[in-house]
Structure 1
Amino acid sequence: MPSTESSNTNRQPFLGLPSSQSVSGFPYLRSFLIVIVAILVTSFLSWKHAKTVHKDAPLLTSSYCRSFSGPSFPFVLRSTRVVTDKGTFPASIFVDSAGFISRVVPGLVEDSTWGCLHDVGNLVVMPGLIDPHVHVNEPGTSSEGFNSATLSAAAGGVTVIFDMPLNSHPACTSYEAIAEKLRVANSRQLWVDVGLIGGMIPGNLETLSDQVFRAGVVALKSFTIDSQAYDFPPVSLDEVEQVMLALKNLSIEERMRYMIHAEIAPPGFSPTDYEGSPSSYMAFMRSRPDSFEVNAVQGLIELSRKTNCPVYIVHISSADAAQLVKQAKEEGIPIFAETCTQYLAFAADDIPDGHPEFKCVPPIRPNGNRKRLLNFLLQDNLFDVIASDHAPATPEEKRLQEGDVRKAYAGISGLQYRLPAVWTALKPYGVSFEQLSHLLSSSAAKVFHIDDIKGRIAPGMEADFVIWDPESFFNVSESNCFYRHKTSAFLGKQFYGEVKETFLRGSRIFKSDAERGRLGNVVLHPRGKIIKNRLS
């Protein structure tokens, strides 16, 4: 460091001008004048740039949004990276007072006649994420709930979840079950929008009717293997065919999704009766081999071919099963394929013994299988959706203290971390923001028929946004986790892609508090609602 003493006559003044070149005896006058001129020129150019906006926008200067609780309606959200179905580019999104997108203007415009300006700089603005596979488990358990589940969804940039029926009134195709589920959901704080999925169990065919579905259920789900839920028994392939044929007789058949957990085990199979150490993840994985998925997927493809009824296969973990789906899609059979975050982010080879937080069904498989799934995803566009299959449990149910994988509840809490975990897994392969948005939002919106209001940044759509930093590398810890129980395979991991803000219909429902110098995050206004069945 140069000396700061005034007696040091050899010191070079600012801009490197030697003191011998001083003006009128004042050593730094020339430097001072140059700095002043530079500031004036820079200010003038910045002012001119601010006035140079898109040709369709008024040449006015807007006021910046100052409220921490969120922009006032209407407002303009702008970023240098806005993800649309036409590409990613600098854009300004005009949000009206009803929470809808009025227009999307390329370029960084300013318009004081519209409302305040919410400028997020270089952060990525994507459509709010949609997760069609979430186990809220309320009413019926203490493992999660509508408030904590939707709050963690908001913190993860998710603006729509579909609640699966496991452990929570599975026979949701009855008026009584629907009414109870709706009553409980509407009595809770909902931070994001929620769709309800009904359980289809043996002997429940008489409940299938247009009227019941229009009351609130947006899809059906069945298991073809023991779910370990006493009130949700599995269905056989013959029973699956009966459901498909019954759906064909409904006026809403082409718009109803039949979601199936696709594993078929041999006779005598028991989920907790297998060889190996109780703490070994590899022993658990071997107890549910690829053949379970392959047999089920093959059977479902044949039934879909026979009945021409679409089938949605949830959480595909086996690359061999994915290969069958690829062939079926090429044949034109109406198959929708879902995989999950954990199958892309983790590999069984890396899971140490005694860590039941990684247990899920179907299981996480070896790294070679994971790489094949990534290839099907990115090269073949095989998967329609990447979901979380958020399946929470209490620490006691997960057997964390004992490290007992064999007896642990099978499920991973991943709702809040789907975006960063998927982004981190796919980033090395050059995935684009458009591809990511398709897999986490727009494709699910299309599959479940809400793409006229959700899943895209375009005029007329609801103003649902996730604003995130793809370059930010952060630690997942309990301090920024909003699950009811801080139990997850993602805790302690590091990922790229921190969520900064989440908007639902123009209202900010989550904001990271890091930039305010505090620990953790803050949440704002609950604004979620139940998505009514829109099949009529």
Structure 2
Amino acid sequence: MELGTTVCAVRSKRVLIGNEVCPAVIIIKDEKIHQILSDSKSSGDVGCEVLDVGESVVMPGIVDSHVHVNEPGRSSWEGFWTATRAAAAGGVTTIVDMPLNSIPPTTTLDHFREKQQEATGKCFVDTAFWGGVIPGNQHELQPMIQAGVAGFKCFLIHSGVEEFPHVTDCDLHTAMKHLRGTGSVLLFHAEVDVQHTTHDPGDPCQYFTFLESRPDVMEVEAIRTVAELCLQYQVRCHIVHLSSAKPLKLIQKARQAGAPLTVETTHHYLSLCAENIPAGATQFKCCPPIRGSINQEQLWAALKDGQIDMVVSDHSPCTPDLKKLDSGDFTQAWGGISSLQFGLPLFWSSASKRGFQLLDVVRLLSRKPAQLCSLDNKKGRLAPGYDADLVIWDPEREFKIEEGSIHHKNKLTPYLGITLQGVVCATILRGRLIYREGSFCPEPLGKHLLIPQRKKEGQL
């Protein structure tokens, strides 16, 4: 079957449907899942050519709701063409683009239109867009909601780029008043500056020097603020890239009190730990920081208990020079990790050793991220009427990450050279075969996903 062609049906002995893994045939019609049959029927009964993938797992395409594409303005860091090819190679069929670090940022209706124009004709997977909340743009929020943004992102601390300033308490209250009743969601980079004393600034090439500059209390205090706002305004709120397990009790308490609050963590917090980061290895720098192994196990336990809702990449690339590898100075290096292509095997390699099942992968990497960005009526599930977005993968097979097989623009990543479990064999987007065994559909078939405004508040 040629890349780019429409797949009529897919058969596997391991299809993830609802809460079970079973042999099945998925019938596809008009870009949607038309029917799911038990595998007692032969290909002749189906009435069309069947793509038989044998024992390979077939599950909903991954929804990565936290991706920095950086185009326009910083396309040397990443762009829609390269980012979405990397996504397709990783079984990701939907990404949601962050409002920074592009120039201009997606903080006005005009900027949103500019972003869409830039992405046109370049997306190999379906793409939705977050807007941004910055000081003074409150009157742009409703127009952006009506134009189809998935929701909004804000920072409680310096974002790292001047064109996306962080918000004050006053800005937050103003934004909440404009978002109340819209059903939209506000995402928080939840760190705040706190007074902490250190007698010795330490060697900037040692990872623990950087780690001590971003202590857990920065996340705890930020999340305390978010929880209070969420309860007060009953606007959906979401904590992005939780790195510390310490605020989890605060999050649970707020939810029990009725706050529509959700939280994600990322592949790097679950796969990497501070004790193993070598001196000068600035490719490991991100904010909030990768913390210690005890904290990491607490994050895994919270995932298992349902306290953390989803796992995403926070793919945040830059050009190699900004990582300051020549000096190895963690304090000066750009903070961000590239992993869009490898989220599924990164997660599975660690999760399978901790008793997680394939159904957990669907929940945490597909279904919950789709719910966050109001795409849960079409993405993240194998069911009739849903988009025929499928990832076909082999959870038992191993592979080594090598530079030549990395499809995002800049190849620098802390995962280079490591061996992972779980190989993506093929990716199907709305019934079209867009990736198979290292090769791509020649033309980008992804659509822009504009989110219709919700009529009432919802909670995951």
User: Under TM normalisation by the shorter chain, which class is it?
Assistant: over 0.9
Q: Does 1:531 align with 2:459?
A: no
Q: Which residue of structure 1 lines up, in the alignment, with residue 225 of structure 2?
A: 299
For the 8 Å contact 2:99–2:107, the answer to whether it is kept is no
Q: CA deviation at 1:240?
A: 1.4
Letter in 1 for 2:218: F
- Distance in 1 (CA, whole Å) between partners of 2:222 and 2:247 is 9
In the alignment, does 2:45 pair up with 1:133? Answer: no
Q: In 2, Cα distance between the equivalents of 1:197 and 1:345?
A: 26
Counterpart for residue 95 of structure 2: 161
Give the superposition deviation at 1:357.
0.5
Residue 485 of structure 1 pairs with residue 410 of structure 2: yes
Return the offset for 1:304.
1.1
- Does the 8 A contact of 2:392 with 2:426 survive in 1? yes
Deviates more, 1:391-400 or 1:101-110: 101-110
1:459 alignment partner, SS class: coil
Contact 1:259 1:313 in 2 (8 A): yes
2:332 is matched by which residue type in structure 1? K
1:510 alignment partner, one of 413, 435, 444 = 435
- Can you list the C-alpha shifts for 1:403-429, whole angstroms capped at 9, x where unaligned? 222211000001111100011111111
What aligned pairs does 1:62-461 form with structure 2 within 5 A after superposition? 67-69=1-3, 72-73=6-7, 75-96=8-29, 98-107=30-39, 109-112=41-44, 114-141=47-74, 142-169=76-103, 171-186=105-120, 188-209=121-142, 211-248=143-180, 253-254=182-183, 256-266=184-194, 275-378=201-304, 380-461=305-386
Matched position secondary structure for 1:115: coil
Cα deviation, 1:345-383, whole Å, max 9, x if unaligned, reads 1111111111111100000000000000100111x2011
What are the superposed Cα offsets for residues 166-199 of structure 1, whole Å, 9 maximum, x if unpaired?
Answer: 121465242321121111111x421001111111
Q: CA 1:108–1:504 in structure 2 vs 1: closer, same or farther (change >3 Å)?
A: farther
Query: Following TM superposition, by how much is the alpha carbon of 1:108 offset from its aligned partner in structure 2, in angstroms?
Result: 5.1
C-alpha distance after superposition, 1:474-532 (max 9, x if no partner): 101111100111111111111101111011001111111xxxxxxxx211242101111
Distance 1:454 1:504 in 2: 11
**Which digits, 9 at most, give the CA deviation of each residue in 1:244-303, with x for residues without a partner?**
12211x5xx22x11001000113699xxx9812121111111100000000000111011
Q: The residue matched to 1:161 in structure 2 has which SS?
A: strand
AA in 2 matched with 1:261: H
Judge conservation of contact 1:171–1:201 (CA < 8 Å) in 2.
Answer: no
Look up the equivalent residue of 2:226 and give its one-letter code.
L
Residue 453 to residue 286, structure 1, CA distance change in 2 (3 Å): same
CA contact under 8 A between 2:318 and 2:336: conserved in structure 1?
yes
Query: AA paired with 2:398?
Result: F
1:453, CA displacement in angstroms? 1.0
Identity across the alignment (%):
38
Residue 171 to residue 416, structure 1, CA distance change in 2 (3 Å): closer
- Structure 1 residues 70, 530: closer, same or farther in 2, change over 3 A? closer
Q: TM-score normalised to the size of structure 2? A: 0.94
Greater RCO between the two (CA within 8 Å, min separation 6)? 2
Measured after TM superposition, the shift of residue 342 of structure 1 is: 0.4
Q: CA RMSD in A?
A: 1.8
* Paired position in structure 1 for 2:457: none
Classify the secondary structure of the residue corresponding to 1:390.
coil
Three-state SS of the structure 2 residue aligned to 1:208 is helix
The runs of at least 4 consecutive aligned structure 1 residues that moved more than 3 Å come to 70-73
Contact residue 163 and residue 197 of structure 1 kept, 8 A: yes
- SS of the residue 1:396 aligns to: helix
Letter in 2 for 1:149: A
Partner Cα separation in structure 2 for residue 245 and residue 189 of structure 1: 36
Bigger CA drift: 329-338 or 256-265? 329-338
Conserved? CA contact 2:185–2:237, under 8 Å: yes
| Aligned position for 1:49 | none
TM-superposed CA distance for 1:87, in Å, is: 1.0
| Cα distance in 2 for residues equivalent to 1:506 and 1:109 | 21
Query: Which AA in structure 1 matches 2:312?
Result: A
* 1:305, distance to aligned residue in structure 2 (A): 1.3
Give 1:114 deviation, angstroms.
2.4
Residue 59 (structure 1) aligns with = none
Counterpart amino acid of residue 483 in structure 1:
H
Distance 2:252 2:418 in 1: 32
Larger Rg: 1
Distance 1:332 1:344 in 2: 28
Cα distance in 2 for residues equivalent to 1:419 and 1:170: 31
Give the counterpart letter for 2:78 in structure 1.
Answer: E
Q: Does the 8 A contact of 1:170 with 1:232 survive in 2? A: no
**Amino acid in structure 2 at the alignment position of 1:371:** E
Post-superposition offset of 1:86: 3.1
Q: Deviations over 1:305-355 (max 9, x none)?
A: 112222111000000012321222233211010110001011111111111
SS in structure 1 at match of 2:113:
helix
Stretch deviating more after TM superposition (435-444 or 107-116): 107-116
Query: Distance in 1 between the 2:93 and 2:137 partners?
Result: 32
Preserved contact between residue 426 and residue 435 of structure 2 (Cα < 8 Å): yes
C-alpha contact 2:393 2:425 (8 A) present in aligned 1: yes
Q: Using the alignment, how far apart are the partners of 2:287 and 2:56 within structure 1? A: 35
Unmatched segments (≥5 aa) in structure 1: 1-66, 513-520
Question: What's the TM-score once normalised by structure 1's chain length?
Answer: 0.81
- Cα distance per residue 1:83-106 (max 9 Å; x no partner): 12131111110112x221111112
Residues of 1 paired with 2:405 and 2:71: CA distance? Answer: 23
- What amino acid is aligned across from residue 443 of structure 1 in structure 2? K
Q: Which of 512, 522, 531 matches 2:439?
A: 522
Give the aligned length. 450
Q: Contact conserved, 2:107 with 2:134, CA < 8 A, in 1?
A: no
Give the CA deviation at 1:451. 1.3
When residues 91 and 522 of structure 1 are mapped into structure 2, their CA distance, relative to the original with a 3 A threshold, is same
SS in 2 for 1:180: helix
CA deviation digits over 1:5-53, x for unaligned, max 9? Answer: xxxxxxxxxxxxxxxxxxxxxxxxxxxxxxxxxxxxxxxxxxxxxxxxx
Q: Is the 8 A contact 1:262 1:314 kept in 2?
A: yes
Equivalent position of 2:458 in the other structure: none
The worse-fitting range, judged by mean Cα deviation, of 113-122 and 359-368 is 113-122
Q: Distance in 2 between matches of 1:430 and 1:331?
A: 31
